[in-house]
Copies of this chain bind each other. A is one copy, B any other.
Amino acid sequence: MDNYSFTEENYIKAIYHLETKGDVANTNKLADAMQTRAASVTDMLKKLKRKKLVTYKPYYGCNLTPRGKSLALLIIRRHRLWEFFLSEKLGFNWQEVHDVAEELEHVGSEKLINKLDEFLGYPKVDPHGDPIPDFKGNMVEPEQFSLAGYTLNKSGIVVKIGEQSPALLEVLEQKKIGIGSRIKVLQKADFDQSMEIKINNKHTAHISKVLAENIFIKIV
């Protein structure tokens, strides 16, 4: 695999994320994502095109070539493996892992990342519930379920909140449940479907059926 600068890698990653969100990666969106100016983006897109990582059409935007896409997946693989390492082995909170992984993801050694993968036991999902590509770039988007359908002792990561009402958000805030929280079902009451859950392996909470129906979990 060739060698790319931090900046190039970050552009490729940003383009990938825009594409998978269904958007075309155009100049202004990229400038926004990269915290830079449109003119700088234009320059970079021309360069990435020269390097055959994207197809670039002036006044339109760009798409990743197959080469660009595998580079993106490699960087995402590195990022998410490091996030897993930081969380699992070094005891970082899931909120803290992103910024550090943002730096570690640019360390290029192929052997490093594959050995790390092995050391971590080939995890499928990072601490935010996002899937980790394997060494070939394949990843399995984990299925998400409402917490209400969960059975005892199953755990996962909160990836979505159903209803966006202020009342619901307030309850979640109060119980310290948010996107990324790791939740494990401890007890379930048959008569009203309420449940006792453990949040981030730290504190427990009791939540009603209605609340559980609005919390969506990815299995980890």
Residue numbers of A with Cβ under 8 A of B are 86, 89-92, 96, 99-100, 103-104, 107-109, 111-112, 115-116, 118-119
A91 surroundings in chain B (CB, below 8 A): 115
Main secondary structure of the interface of A (DSSP, over half): helix
| Closest Cβ neighbor of A109 among chain B residues | B100
A86 cross-chain contacts in B, Cβ below 8 A: 112, 115
Judging by beta carbons under 8 Å apart, are A90 and B116 in contact? yes
Interchain Cβ contacts under 8 Å between A and B, 5 examples:
A90-B115, A96-B111, A100-B107, A100-B112, A107-B107
- Say whether B115 contacts A107, CB under 8 Å: no
Q: Is A107 a contact of B116 with CB atoms below 8 Å?
A: no
- Which residue on B lies nearest to A112, using beta carbons? B100
